[in-house]
Amino acid sequence: MFTGLVTDVGEVLSVEERAEGLRQLTIACIFDPATIAIGASICCAGVCMTAVATGTSGGRGTFCVDAAAETLRLTTVGRWRKGTRVNLERSLKIGDELGGHLVSGHVDGLAELIAREDLTDMAKLTLRVPKPLARFIAQKGSVALDGVSLTVNEVNDDTFSVLIIPHTLAVTTLGALKPGDSINLEVDVMARYAARLMEAR
């Protein structure tokens, strides 16, 4: 589990094709590689991925992750190339401050940025989501976009908007987004379970 509070913006150093439908990515980060256990979960742009190797490169720590066919197809991971910047978060430890909301790192789908309005000291992003996911998004509810915990501002059918404060624009990849970009979306897990309970009735 994660909180949606990004602690580093990593950089993809290499993308290597392995077995059919499998890619290994090496990502540079500020994390001390000695503290990354093999098998540990790291949220990469909202996708929970497993560290399979660690090392150093150019004075930075690195870790490797494997991305299987489904991850490559359903998330933005399939589009990552050398130089791609990705939001990173280590997994939540018992006793850590829960400053965002509970994020599983299981991407529900891709949202498309359809409009960006740069305001004084912040930005308003308007996104369109796949129709089946729209019912899980509520005004004042939570979503994770590329791993960033955000509060929904407005909802209109299959679109919603969020306001991004200067700090978030500066320390995540959200500041570089432009209309037409696809973003990994995870809906609030509580909204998903609430909907399932209603269906079960």
Q: How many other C-beta atoms can be found within 10 angstroms of the C-beta atom of residue 15?
A: 16
3-class secondary structure, 31: coil
Domain for residue 71, yes or no?
Answer: yes
Domain for residue 45, yes or no?
Answer: yes
| In contact, 20 and 185? CB cutoff 8 Å | no
Domain for residue 101, yes or no?
Answer: no
Domain for residue 100, yes or no?
Answer: no
Structural domain harbouring 128: 109-200
Residues of the chain falling short of pLDDT 50: none
| In contact, 10 and 31? CB cutoff 8 Å | no
Q: Is the pTM of this model over 0.85?
A: yes
Q: What is the DSSP letter of 157?
A: T
pLDDT (0 to 100) of residue 139: 94
pLDDT (0 to 100) of residue 192: 77
Catalytic residues: 2, 41, 48, 50, 68, 106, 151
Phi, psi for 175 (deg, rounded to 5)? -65, -20
